[in-house]
Amino acid sequence: MKHRLYTHTLLAVIATIVLTLAACTPTPENAQESGSLPPVYPDYTEVTIPRNIAPLNFLLRDDVEAVETRAVCGDEEIVVNAKGNTVCFDLGEWKDLMEKAAGHQVEVRVTALKDGKWTAYRPFHWTVTNDSIDPYLTYRLIEPDYEVYQNLTLQERCLENFDERSISNYGLVGNRCMNCHTYGSQNPNLSMLYVRGEGGGAILNRDGHLSKLNIKTKDMVSGSVYFGFSPNGRYIVFSTNWIIPAFHAKPSKRLEVFDSKSDVYVADLESNTILRSELLCDSTVYETFPTFSPDGKSIYFCASPKVELPMELKEMRYSLCRIAFDERTGTIGTEVDTLVNGPADSLSVCHPRISPDNRYLVYTVADYGTFPIWHQETDLRIMDLATGKVDEMKAVNSDKSDTYHSWASNSRWMVFASKRDDGLYGKPYFCYIDSQGKAHKPFVLPQENPHFYDNNLKSFNAPEIGKGPLPFDAMDVKRAVDREPVNFE
């Protein structure tokens, strides 16, 4: 009897607390219509999103007391009433809404309470595509600098929720430099990352088995820097770059990095040998940013004629080039095609990446040089490989650096690093390329707490999309680093 009394009392107290809390969250009354869009951060207005994306939680950049958000698609509706300026959706409700909204638009109505008055902002929309995005993303978290590092970590994030984990971490491999993690054809069972420093190397993941490779040979100017897998996973094409850091006197331009030497090679991961071509190691040319075409028949790369550095740095302009490759025999072609002539067009091409369906090639253009991440003018461009037509992707680019892009396996989604918010910290943005090759307005990687980006002091570096979770973790990488390397000839 006494026990039951306690239980009832406890339940009554809990119910009272819950009801009191619920009653404390104000709901709109006599809201005044406003013709302007709500000041949402991140900018999720009129964006195109995949049906399987995590909730687009956001905040209002205003000193509001409460906010109500209604996300409506047909008869499906999510309502979020919250005190303060933060809007966070329930993951389950969000998933239901996305399933219903696939192929349609969601209308988002935001009403906010400020100084005791409710304002109903002009609704905005989310276009939800039937095309899903590959559900995993890897990136490096690093301060926005280039030559110094401390406490680096490579992360993997599930795009369908907010789960994140470390796939290589300074706490386990020592305070080493770590470079980008790259998938082979978005396949989580084929990927590679670099752990630099003494005893480091390229950590190759094949079906979760990690091996350490020493790809550098004596004739190379450095270890491998930018690389990409061939479709069958037997080869990687990579550049070796002698990188020089520099500074701009003008504070708005900040940093500059350029290569004083660079070459391109192919490594055969089966025979542990290096394939060389004079056309890719020309001493009068800087070759860099190599990647295989998804059919394995070509290597795309960027090349600039040698200039006097640093005096002629602003004349250092890279062209987009292509050379044939036979994946069956491991033979590099004998002629280089120029697809975009950098010096002639007064631009510098970087980071060519081809859609897995071999239809589109997206590349970065800057005014000059080879380090677009610090060039605010850097933009993405898309080339239709069937027609050669180039689009400037105006819906995607910003007035800050937009670069380091990577495709999803269905060739409909792309991620890239953009500094559009503050000019300093790169963040992963996703953009939809429809079947006509039209690029839609991108959205930033959603975070569980929408204040995350405001308080974050790390750049998201070299984001890459993967089809599934990687079959290893940071502890496995530590063990691989401790092993003896496989040397290349």
Partner 1 sequence: MPRLKPRIIEMAVILLWGLACWIFFQFFYQYHFFYQEQNQLFLHTSDYLATYFQKPGWLACMTGDFLTQLYYYRFAGPVVLTFTLLVMGDLLRRAFGRIGKGAWGFWAAIALMTLEAIFFLHYSHRLSSALAVILGTLLFLVYTTTSRMHAIAKVVIGLGLGLIAYRTAGYGWMVYALLATAYGLVRKSTARWWAPVFAALVIIAAPTLTNRHYLLNTAANLTYPGIGRPCLPETELETTLAINNEYYFGQWSKVEKMVEDEPAPNELMLFFYNLVKAQKGELPDHLLRYVPNQLGSFYKIGPDIPLPIINNMNELYWVLGDMTLTERAAMMTNVFAPNNRNVRMVKRLAECNIVSGDTLAANKYLRILDHTLAYREWAGNARKGVGIEELNRKKAFVNHEDTIRVTDNLHMVMMELLDTNPDNVVALDYILCSTLLLKDIESFKRDYDRYCIATGKARVKPLYQQALMIWLAGSNASEEEWKKYITDQEQLHRFNEYSQHRGDPRFNDTYWYYFDTAKAPEI
**Closer to partner 1 by Cβ: residue 149 or 330:** 149
Exactly one of 117, 122, 209, 248 binds partner 1 (CB under 8 A); that residue is: 248
Exactly one of 25, 161, 166, 211 binds partner 1 (CB under 8 A); that residue is: 166
475 binds partner 1 (CB under 8 A): yes
**Binding span for partner 1 by CB under 8 A among 125-133, 150-158, 264-272, 288-296:** 150-158
Exactly one of 72, 120, 390, 424 binds partner 1 (CB under 8 A); that residue is: 424
User: In the sheet where 360-366 sits, what is the strand order?
Assistant: 348-354, 360-366, 379-384, 390-391
Query: What letter does residue 433 receive in the DSSP assignment?
Result: B
**Closer to partner 1 by Cβ: residue 1 or 311:** 311
- Whether the ω angle into residue 42 lies within 30 degrees of 0, i.e. cis, is yes
Residue identified by tokens 């069937």 is 386
Using CB under 8 A as the criterion, what x/- string covers residues 276-315 for binding partner 1?
Answer: ----------------------------------x--x--
Q: SS3 for 362?
A: strand
**Closer to partner 1 by Cβ: residue 129 or 348:** 348
Q: How many Å apart are CA 20 and CA 75, to the nearest integer?
A: 30
**Closer to partner 1 by Cβ: residue 357 or 421:** 421
Between CA 45 and CA 52, with CA 50 as vertex, the angle to 5 degrees is 120
163 binds partner 1 (CB under 8 A): no
33 — phi, psi (to 5°)? -70, 140
Exactly one of 422, 434, 482, 484 binds partner 1 (CB under 8 A); that residue is: 422
99 binds partner 1 (CB under 8 A): no
End-to-end CA distance of the chain: 83
> What would the 3-class secondary structure string for 42-72 be?
CCCCCEEEECCCCCCCEEECCCCCEEEEEEE
Residue identified by tokens 């819906």 is 395
**Closer to partner 1 by Cβ: residue 103 or 245:** 245
**Binding span for partner 1 by CB under 8 A among 47-55, 67-75, 252-260, 267-275:** 252-260
Residue 309 corresponds to which amino acid? L
| Residues engaged in binding partner 1 (CB under 8 A) | 143-145, 147-151, 153, 166, 169, 171-172, 244-256, 310, 313, 421-425, 449, 451-452, 454-455, 457-458, 473-475
